[in-house]
């Protein structure tokens, strides 16, 4: 993992002390709320429905065991014993006190974490593949490039007041697990015909009230040019992006309005001025960052573990968990274990202080002290020996973290909704709870197979409903909660925006409607066909008919 150098440490520590002074001046009355609000937001401190909310950045979703343990401690000491992992691989605390926020930031700084740029019209935390450094299909480790982007974008003076917030995602594998096509800038690590590594640069993707799939801007940028090209992309957006209308200020609107070709021409022209200058990445610096992500000391192991194989036969519950929650590792004898934060009837993404501390312990014991956060609101232990997998599963069960539902309709992605969020129009969590209870039967859940279901409590789409195979959007109709359903969205390399299936459903109807959609898929699927594939073959019609009757 990347370890802070003196510069990183000083920057973060200085920010803590600066914020401590700002909080003191706000409480003493020297600063008005109007003056203070932008300052607290620059440090991730929002005011939500019930209390303040602190959003802490988890850079590209990676945590050390020490950091995870600290997140648990903060939940216990400064909050109400839990935290919420978000769809941007971050963590949010729902009940921090303003007066204690500087102490929380100081505790985070001790473990090389912070809340800088988790709000505001700046470049937010860069997100990435939670299986980075472990995935069998990886071309190069995206953390190396995400960390370089983190350093470049942190307190970048030119890009601290953009027209609107800005999100960058990086994938190092052709199977996109970072949803790069619905980000302001998406980066795909590729290999050219000469075998060299470089980057595809995509721009203009996004969700919210105007969902759009990113357009390819350049098919190959060499590693040394990554920052100069990014700087050119940002500069063109900063110059031409609209500032007159908040709803038209994201880069997706610019790329859509002037067209990808014109945007590309502007970027290329800008880049000619930048590319051979100070923004060129020195090889030594790339090597320094890469060294921080050197693989851990993997043992030489047989590809097959006898213990694991035996347990698969003996223990059906274990076999089921392995089938849904374990992924192939690039090194023989190891596996990637996904920890579901979606217990039946639970709150998607929530973890207690004790669970966080337990995961930290498991990471130390079984995964080279590494943990990842996924944008699906789950956790990952990226490097577990097949020989240890059964013991890990037993240990997860003891802290209720062994739900075998990753990638299924039980693995629901949901924003906090109106239970916490001041922007929401409707609740998300109770809908997710009822749906997960409806599909609690594991035989049925596994028979349904791969299916993503996403719920947002407002059009800002933090629950990524536009790209769920089934998407649910909460709306307020004359003071009552209603839920609009979309089908066919996907967040992978074949990203697509879901289509509205018909009129919205009431709170009482929405669970039945989801079951009807799933049953319609079961009736129509061909052998081996996933939900989204059946939808793509048949379109909305059979689902519409099942839900609303023949037209």
Partner 1 sequence: MSLQAVTANRLGDGLVIYLTATGWSEQVADAATADTRDAAQALLDRALAQPGHAVGAELIEVEQGADGLRPVRYRELIRSLGPTVRADLGYQAA
Residues at the site binding partner 1, with contacts judged by CB under 8 A: 26-27, 29, 32-33, 47-52, 80, 95-99, 347, 418-420, 427, 429-430, 433, 479, 481
Closest distance to partner 1 from the beta carbon of 514 (Å)? 18
Cβ closer to partner 1: 208 or 474? 474
Dihedral over Cα of 124, 73, 359, 421: its sign:
negative
Looking at the Cβ atoms of 30 and 261, the one nearer to partner 1 is 30
Token output for 93: 């605390």
According to DSSP, the residues that pair with 464 across neighbouring strands are none
As a whole number of angstroms, the distance between CA 262 and CA 275 comes to: 19
Q: How far is the CB of 83 from partner 1 (least distance, A)?
A: 13
Closest CB to partner 1 among 33 and 526? 33
Of 118 and 126, which CB lies nearer to partner 1 in the complex structure?
Answer: 118
CA distance 377 to 430: 16
Smallest distance, Å, CB 142 to partner 1?
A: 34
Whose CA is closest to 515, among 480, 551, 473, 546? 546
Q: 10 Å Cβ neighbour count for 69? A: 22
- What is the closest distance, in whole angstroms, from the C-beta atom of residue 403 to partner 1 in the complex? 17
Q: Do residues 52 and 96 touch, judged by C-beta distance below 8 A?
A: yes
Q: Which is nearer to partner 1, 204 or 417 (CB)?
A: 417
Distances from the Cα of 310 to the Cα of 303, 307, 319, 434, angstroms:
15, 5, 10, 36
Task: Write down the least CB distance from residue 96 to partner 1, Å.
Answer: 8
First-to-last alpha carbon distance for the chain, in angstroms, is: 57
Least separation in angstroms between CB 431 and partner 1: 10
- Residues 465 and 495: beta-carbon distance below 8 Å: no
167 neighbors 159 (Cβ within 8 angstroms) = no
Closer residue to partner 1, CB minimum distance, 430 or 449 = 430
Instruction: Provide the angle, in degrees to the nearest 10, between the axes of the packed helices 531-538 and 507-524.
Output: 80
Q: Which lies closer to partner 1 via its Cβ, residue 477 or residue 537? A: 477
Helix (H) or strand (E) holding 487: strand 480-487
Cβ proximity of 115 and 45 under 8 Å: yes
Dig out the tokens for 163 from the structure.
Answer: 């027209």
In the complex with partner 1, the residue whose CB is nearer, 237 or 420, is: 420
* CA-to-CA separations, 465 to 55, 93, 266, 521, in angstroms, rounded: 21, 23, 32, 19
Q: Single out the residue of 156, 166, 154 nearest to residue 237, CA to CA.
A: 166
Nearest to 90 by CA among 117, 119, 116, 125: 125
> Taking a C-beta distance cutoff of 8 angstroms, is the pair 388, 367 a contact?
no
With respect to partner 1, which residue has the nearer C-beta, 29 or 277? 29
The pair phi, psi for residue 454, each rounded to 5°, is -125, 140
Residue 146: CB minimum distance to partner 1, A:
32
Question: Minimum distance from CB of 265 to partner 1 (Å)?
Answer: 45
Closest CA relative to residue 169, chosen from 116, 205, 136:
205
The minimum distance between CB 503 and partner 1, in angstroms, equals 21
Which of these, 168, 177, 290, 180, lies nearest to 229 by C-alpha position? 168
- Contact between 192 and 220 (Cβ < 8 Å): yes
Quickly list DSSP for 381-404: EEEEEHHHHHHHHHHHHHTT----
> Which residue, 352 or 520, has its beta carbon nearer to partner 1?
352
Nearer to partner 1, 83 or 204 (CB): 83
From the CB of 414, what's the least distance to partner 1, in Å? 10
E strands, 237-349, in order = 326-328, 334-339
Measured from the CB atom, the residue of 33 and 244 that comes closer to partner 1 is: 33
Which C-beta is closer to partner 1: that of 74 or that of 212? 74
Q: Min. distance of Cβ 73 from partner 1 in angstroms?
A: 20
Taking the complex as a whole, the smallest distance from the CB of residue 92 to partner 1 amounts, in Å, to: 13
Name which of 439, 431, 437, 435 is nearest 415 in CA terms: 431
Min CB(418)–partner 1 separation in Å: 6
Task: Please tell me the distance from the alpha carbon of residue 166 to that of residue 183, in angstroms, as a whole number.
Answer: 8
Tell me the closest approach of the beta carbon of residue 466 to partner 1, in angstroms: 24
Q: How many residues does the chain have?
A: 551
| Residue 71 · residue 63 · CB < 8 Å | yes
- CB of 6 or CB of 32, closer to partner 1: 32
């Amino acid at each position: 993992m990347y370890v802070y150098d003196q510069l990183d440490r000083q920057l973060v520590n200085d920010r803590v002390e600066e914020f401590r002074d700002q909080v003191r001046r706000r409480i003493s009355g020297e600063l008005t709320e109007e003056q203070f609000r932008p300052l607290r937001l620059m440090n991730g401190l929002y005011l939500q429905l019930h209390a303040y909310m602190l959003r802490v950045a988890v850079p590209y979703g990676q945590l050390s065991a020490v950091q995870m343990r600290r997140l648990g401690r903060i939940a216990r000491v400064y909050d109400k014993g839990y935290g919420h992992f978000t769809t941007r691989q971050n963590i949010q605390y729902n009940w921090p006190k303003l007066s204690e926020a500087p102490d929380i930031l100081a505790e985070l700084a001790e473990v090389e974490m912070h809340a800088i740029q988790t709000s505001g019209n700046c470049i937010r935390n860069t997100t990435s593949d939670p299986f980075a450094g472990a995935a069998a299909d990886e071309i190069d480790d995206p953390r190396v490039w995400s960390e370089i982007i983190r350093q470049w974008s942190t307190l970048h003076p030119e890009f601290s007041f953009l027209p609107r917030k800005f999100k960058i995602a990086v994938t190092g594998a052709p199977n996109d697990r970072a949803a790069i096509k619905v980000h302001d800038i998406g980066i795909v690590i590729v290999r050219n015909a000469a075998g060299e590594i470089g980057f595809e640069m995509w721009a203009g993707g996004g969700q919210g009230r105007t969902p759009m799939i990113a357009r390819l801007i350049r098919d190959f940028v060499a590693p040394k040019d990554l920052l100069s090209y990014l700087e050119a992309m940002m500069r063109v957006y900063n110059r031409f992006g609209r500032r007159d209308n908040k709803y038209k200020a994201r880069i997706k609107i610019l790329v859509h309005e002037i067209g990808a070709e014109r945007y590309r021409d502007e970027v290329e022209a800008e880049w000619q001025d930048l590319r051979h200058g100070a923004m060129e990445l020195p090889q030594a610096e790339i090597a320094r960052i890469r060294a921080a992500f050197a693989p851990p000391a993997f043992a030489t192991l047989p590809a097959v573990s006898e213990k694991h194989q035996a347990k698969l036969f003996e223990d059906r519950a274990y076999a089921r968990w392995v089938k849904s929650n374990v992924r192939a590792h690039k090194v023989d004898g190891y596996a990637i274990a996904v920890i579901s934060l979606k217990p039946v009837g639970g709150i998607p993404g929530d973890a207690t202080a004790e669970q966080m501390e337990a995961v930290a312990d498991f990471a130390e014991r079984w995964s080279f002290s590494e943990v990842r956060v996924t944008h699906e609101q789950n956790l990952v232990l990226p490097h577990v020996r097949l020989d240890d997998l059964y013991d890990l599963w037993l240990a997860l069960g003891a802290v209720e973290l062994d739900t075998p539902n990753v990638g299924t309709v039980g693995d629901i992605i949901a924003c906090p909704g109106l239970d916490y969020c001041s922007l929401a129009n409707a609740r998300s969590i109770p809908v997710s709870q009822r749906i997960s209870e409806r599909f609690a039967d594991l035989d049925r859940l596994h028979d349904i197979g791969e299916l993503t279901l996403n719920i947002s409590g407002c059009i800002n789409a933090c629950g990524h409903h536009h790209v769920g195979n089934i998407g649910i959007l909460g709306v307020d109709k004359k003071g009552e909660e209603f839920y609009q359903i979309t089908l066919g969205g996907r967040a992978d390399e074949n990203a697509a925006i879901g289509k509205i299936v018909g009129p919205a459903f009431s709170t009482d109807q929405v669970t039945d409607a989801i079951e009807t959609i799933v049953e319609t898929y079961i009736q129509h699927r061909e052998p081996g066909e996933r939900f989204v594939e059946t939808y793509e073959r048949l379109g909305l019609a059979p689902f519409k008919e099942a839900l609303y009757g023949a037209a």
